[in-house]
Amino acid sequence: MNKSGKNFNMYFVVIIGLLLLTVWIGTFQNQSDNYTKGELVSDLENNLVTAVTIHPNEGAPTGSIHVDFKNGEDRVLYVTDVTVIERLVQEYGIDPVVRDIPRESWFLTYMLPVMVVLIAGVFIFVLINSQNSSGNSGGKMMNFGKSRAKLSIGNGKVGLKDVAGLKEEKSELEEIIEFLREPAKFTRVGARIPKGVLLEGAPGTGKTLLAKAVAGEANVPFFSISGSDFVEMFVGVGASRVRDLFGEAKKNAPCIIFIDEIDAVARRRGTGMGGGHDEREQTLNQLLVEMDGFGVNEGIIVMAATNRVDILDPAILRPGRFDRKITVAPPDVGGREEILKVHSKNKPLSDDVNLEQVAQTTAGFTGADLENLLNEAAITAAMESRAFVKQEDIKKAFIKVGIGTEKRSRIISDKEKKITAYHEAGHAILFHVLPDVGPVYTVSIIPTGLGAAGYTMPLPERDEMFLTKGKMMQDIMVSLGGRIAEEIIFDDITTGASSDIKKATKEARRMVTRFGMSDSIGVVNYDDDGDEVFIGRDLAHARSHSEMVAGEIDREVKSIIDDCYKKAKDIILENEEVLHKCAELLLEKEKITRDEFEALFTKTEESGDLENSSFV
């Protein structure tokens, strides 16, 4: 998370070193002027010397001789006996000036650079510290040279109140907090508290936040390290880091150790392609040894986060290790609203902002996405020198974070634009007509910056727990809609629909192989899970079904797609008038809203009451 923080100490040492080196070379330069007595003699003989100044050292016959030449140059000679030189130059008719070494020059040559270095050092140190603490709201950070874990003392800054939604997850962690606060309460009655808690969930769902909040609530130290920190280094380093980390934690118990991305270390052993990863295995073994090593109620709780619980080594989930698993789900509509409220606390919102509606339109957004959304909106407000955030800002941010920045500037040909308009109109009509999808939120033919020529965005009105066969069929139909519209209007078809087709095919395959939704295949799961990480294992394992079944699956997938294609085409043909109107409006305005789009249907009412027909 905070790589730069770890490197600061090293930078500090390097900078100080460089400064010292400069000073050293600086003081050395006079001495390195290796002018010799022999050279002096020859220069005197050649009559090149104009003046000689002798600086005898105090209390010793040694000293330095400053020689000025006719050509304006000057050199310094260090000698063991200044009187010898004095006599020598006098022989050549030069009367040397004898002068004590000026006292202040000693200060200038030695003390000043040292002081400069010290001041610079203090300055850099202060700078580093301020950077470190600003990077982490959880409190003061400390670097452990060895374990690379970051320690932050829970000072109540992050608490459960900062974690919006996630009610069940929070209540599951309640007892851990209680235990850290008052271990005696539990040991008294012989209760065993889990040593390890595994937080599973997609990135940005708030796993780190939860772990921090637990430490904050219990007011205990929080050691955090990322699994990838263990494995990026040389062999053997990972294991010793684990040892150091647990050693440090024991000294600070009760405390929390948080290991982010634990899958980087705890991936199932012996499954990688091309042999195992020695370093990772050693690290994992050490982790298991440490977890087994400390007593049940010693006051150390290890929390770990992953988004790939399926690839974890089962050893890690055994009792006495990570025996508590908490799934951190992406927020539902209520959760999203709460998260938006938490993150809009320090952002003045204008009266027209409706967070409930924002929550409704952001299905699938994680906490991190929502935080980002509000931040982008605030940036837009700031750019327009406003002191508050408007709903319009959030709308713009929505497009920006969801689909990439609208790129109005990119020049597209009229033909391209026309194709895109019909393509999106095709999607939009199906969204509107089919009962289980949509309604349409925005239709746009403004390129998104992520490679899409346009987009049609539905407004999800509820979070769905189950998908029905009918809904999945309708999703496929919507995906195919763009391509169908292109085909109806233009003789040619473009490559623009390839991702739509891919999406439709994937959905159809899931229906057949995972959900048992096809008659001839029946209720059997033939899904291979598509786990690329375990490609090695999957290749080694035989496919669980025969070639014959594979062929049957392909036929079923095709028949679903064909069926959807036909139904979708019928709908679009029946609404051809709307298709033209919608495309025309899009070409004119580039982007149309839900109201503008729905008005197209009321004007062409004669197309019948398709909206009530069933497609299940």
Told to check if 5 binds Zn ion by CB under 5 A, we report no
**In the set 148, 170, 195, 207, which binds ligand ADP (CB under 6 A)?**
207
Binding at 482: pick from Zn ion, ligand ADP, none (beta carbon under 5-8 Å per type): Zn ion
Instruction: Choose, by CB under 6 A, the member of 209, 239, 403, 572 that binds ligand ADP.
Output: 209
342 binds, among Zn ion, ligand ADP, none (CB under 5 to 8 A by kind): ligand ADP
Residues 464-503 interacting with ligand ADP (rule: CB under 6 A): none
Smallest separation (angstroms) from ligand ADP to the CB of 166: 5
Q: CA distances (Å), 539 to each of 239, 322, 544, 551, in order?
A: 30, 29, 12, 19
Cβ 5 to Zn ion, closest distance in Å? 44
Q: Which helix (H) or strand (E) holds 303?
A: strand 300-306
Which of 537, 530, 434 lies closest to 479, judged by CA?
Answer: 434
**424 has catalytic annotation:** yes
Please pick, among 217, 261, 337, 424, the residue that the annotation labels catalytic.
424
Of 304 and 571, which CB lies nearer to Zn ion in the complex structure? 571
Which residue of 500, 517, 568, 575 would you call a contact of Zn ion, by CB under 5 A? Answer: 500
Give φ, ψ of 276 to 5 degrees: -75, 170
Could you give the C-alpha distances from 538 to 143, 192, 373, 534, 547, in angstroms and in order? 41, 39, 39, 6, 16
What tokens were used for 10? 């090293």
Give how far the C-alpha of residue 459 lies from the chain's centroid of Cα atoms, to the nearest Å. Answer: 28
| CA-based nearest residue to 77, from 334, 141, 68, 241 | 68
Site for ligand ADP in 121-180 (CB under 6 A): 163-166
Q: Which helix (H) or strand (E) holds 99?
A: none
Nearest position to ligand ADP, beta carbon? 367
Q: Which is nearer to Zn ion, 517 or 579 (CB)?
A: 579
With binding defined as CB under 6 A, does residue 51 bind ligand ADP? no
Residue 426 C-beta: closest distance to Zn ion, Å: 8
- 29 neighbors 44 (Cβ within 8 angstroms): no
Taking the complex as a whole, the smallest distance from the CB of residue 342 to ligand ADP amounts, in Å, to: 5
| Closer residue to Zn ion, CB minimum distance, 96 or 482 | 482
Give all strands of the β-sheet with 591-593 in edge-to-edge order. 455-458, 440-444, 591-593
Tell me how far apart the alpha carbons of residues 265 and 247 are, in angstroms, rounded to a whole number. 19
Whose tokens are 């050292």? That residue is: 57
Q: Is position 342 an interface residue for ligand ADP (rule: CB under 6 A)?
A: yes
Q: Which two tokens stand for residue 55?
A: 């600086």
Residues 456-495 that bind Zn ion (CB under 5 A): 482
Residue 208 found at the interface with ligand ADP (CB under 6 A): yes
> Among residues 63 and 227, whose Cβ is nearest to ligand ADP?
227
| Interaction of residue 394 with ligand ADP, rule CB under 6 A | no
Give Cβ neighbours of residue 607 (< 8 Å, ≥ 6 apart). Answer: 574, 575, 577, 578, 601
User: Which two tokens mark 71?
Assistant: 């050509």
Q: Does residue 204 bind ligand ADP (CB under 6 A)?
A: yes
Inter-CA distances, 340 with 159, 355, 398, 464, Å: 17, 7, 13, 21
Contacts with Zn ion by CB under 5 A lie at: 482, 500
Contacts with ligand ADP by CB under 6 A lie at: 163-166, 201, 203-209, 305, 339, 342, 367-368, 371
Query: Which residues are identified as catalytic?
Result: 424
